[in-house]
Chains A and B, each alone.
Chain A
Amino acid sequence: MPTTCLLTEADIANKVRRLASEIVEAHPSGPLGFVGIHTRGVVLAERVHQAVTDLRNEPVAYGTVDISLYRDDLDNLGTIPAIKSSDIAFPIDGRNIILFDDVLFTGRTVRAAIDCLMDYGRPSRIQLAVLVDRGLRELPIAADFVGLTHPTTREDHIRVSFTDTDADSEEGVFLL
């Protein structure tokens, strides 16, 4: 099957800037925290965080979550996942939290990430930012900030490569 490039490296940079300005518009002030979902959500969160810091006067707290222990399919995985550390070093109580992931698909990862966040405290609000929304939700979950909406079928595979995490391939979002 041919590979289609949905977003190039330059496109991703544009999407990051746009996500950043939308977020700043929605949250011009007040306590805000970004939480990236391992692995590529972390990269997206880092990049948007950097862009937002330039646009916003108040600093934005930043952390990461690993959802392995909150998955609903642990029994069916076959192999035991290597867990990464969740690192949320700031108090999330009463804070606006924006979760970041690279691709929004079934919504199950986001559900797990929300559950994990709730174990850290009670944020005043949780929103979701994604680079690509590919549709096909299995849970009532929607993103608040979206880079690209690209409807797909179940058989499609979307590959996101960031230079930070996928050194051996060029950066971009590809439809396989």
Chain B
Amino acid sequence: MITRKDLLDIESLETSEIEFILENAKPFKDLFTRSVKKVPALRGKTVLSLFYEPSTRTRTSFEIAAKRLSADVTNFSVSTSSVVKGESIQDTVDTLQSMKCDYIVVRHKASGVPGMIAEMTDASVINAGDGFHAHPTQALLDAYTFKEILPEMKGKRIVIIGDILHSRVARSTARCFHKLGVEVGFFGPGTLIPDAVPEFIHTFRSYEEAIAWEPDVMYLLRLQLERQKHNFLPSLREYHQTFGITHKRFQALREKGTWIMHPGPVNRGVEVADDVMSYERSLINQQVENGIAVRMSVLFSMQPRVAARALGDSGESSS
């Protein structure tokens, strides 16, 4: 059961809601093998993507998801819009409200903007990443991918490695896994681990310590090179040697059969050595494919207020 207008973060989702979204994603994924990959579930609805921050993958993934649900998809291209002319978010959203969009997919560099927009509009707002706060659909697709290979999630272990401090992915994904009973560990440069790590998360001081914990999955975060201007790291080479999956570490992981995940795009030679990309237990491509199915399930699960208003007689189910 799920009845909500917006998806803003993982915290506010009940575990049962997460499970519902993941369960429903499976039939959507099955569609991808059909000759017609579309279903008419959101026919006549409009999905608008409002990206204040550049993104190709997430945006494309949402777009394909919406199109496979037969929704009409429009891009509100911020870099060329009135936003650069100084329009406020309130005014932009009022404009979109007048255009009668049913779903708005938002990415913004400031935490909390999607939540703010959600309060201004009747449309369902789906957070596609806001600041260092949350990236809930990434967390859900990670959980779905994990569950596909390890269906019994309870008691399994995942270590998230990298720049935890600046990562909304780490924040959302760790919470999502925790809610589903997976044990979560963090490992990264001391300067890039937040001071206040929630109690349920283990932190490791060395790679060896993390490995000794015997994780089922190693989750490498993308080192956001554009955010490394403040001397958090001595050098990329050193980062790779200390926190990356080097060629040598990879050999050991392969022997153990540890799975590898990464939200993409990968910096080859930084988070992972080249040969990891062709590893048979790398789930990176599955994450991309599952992203579409999970985002279809998310779009399908949200209920814009416009639709709720038309809810006159719920009607008996017809046979």
User: Could you list which residues of chain A lie within 8 angstroms of chain B, going by C-beta atoms?
Assistant: 66, 68-70, 73-80, 82-87, 101-106, 108-109, 115-116, 118-121, 134, 138, 158
Instruction: Select from chain A the residue with minimum beta-carbon distance to B296.
Output: A69
* Binary flags per residue of B277-312, CB closer than 8 Å to A gives 1, else 0: 000000000000000000000001101000100111
Taking A85-B30, A104-B319 as contacts, is the C-beta distance between A80 and B2 under 8 angstroms?
A: yes
Taking A75-B310, A80-B303, A85-B26 as contacts, is the C-beta distance between A119 and B34 under 8 angstroms?
A: yes
Q: List 16 A-B contacts (CB under 8 A).
A: A66-B27, A68-B41, A70-B40, A76-B314, A76-B315, A80-B20, A84-B27, A103-B319, A109-B319, A118-B36, A119-B35, A120-B34, A120-B35, A121-B35, A134-B319, A158-B319
- Name the B residues within 8 Å of A108 (CB-CB): 318
- Cβ contact within 8 Å between A119 and B310: no
Of A75, A115, A121, the contact of B307 (CB 8 Å cutoff)? A75
- Name the A residues within 8 Å of B35 (CB-CB): 119-121
The answer to whether the Cβ of B238 comes within 8 Å of any Cβ in the partner chain is no
Additional A-B contacts beyond A102-B319, A109-B319 (8; CB < 8 A) = A76-B313, A79-B1, A80-B1, A80-B20, A82-B23, A103-B319, A105-B318, A118-B36
A66 to B39, CA, bound (A): 11
User: Could you list which residues of chain B lie within 8 angstroms of chain A, going by C-beta atoms?
Assistant: 1-3, 20, 23-24, 26-28, 30, 34-36, 38-41, 69, 300-301, 303, 307, 310-315, 318-319
A138 to B311, CA, bound (A): 21
- Name the A residues within 8 Å of B69 (CB-CB): 69
- Cβ contact within 8 Å between B39 and A69: yes
- Name the B residues within 8 Å of A121 (CB-CB): 35
A87 to chain B, nearest CB (A): 8
- Name the A residues within 8 Å of B30 (CB-CB): 85-87
Q: Is the interface of B mostly helix, strand, loop or mixed?
A: loop
- Name the A residues within 8 Å of B2 (CB-CB): 79-80
B293 to chain A, nearest CB (A): 11
Instruction: Select from chain B the residue with minimum beta-carbon distance to A81.
Output: B24
A134 to chain B, nearest CB (A): 8
- Cβ contact within 8 Å between A120 and B315: no
Instruction: Select from chain B the residue with minimum beta-carbon distance to A87.
Output: B30
Instruction: Select from chain A the residue with minimum beta-carbon distance to B36.
Output: A119
Instruction: Select from chain A the residue with minimum beta-carbon distance to B37.
Output: A119
- Name the A residues within 8 Å of B1 (CB-CB): 79-80
Instruction: Select from chain B the residue with minimum beta-carbon distance to A92.
Output: B35
- Name the A residues within 8 Å of B23 (CB-CB): 82
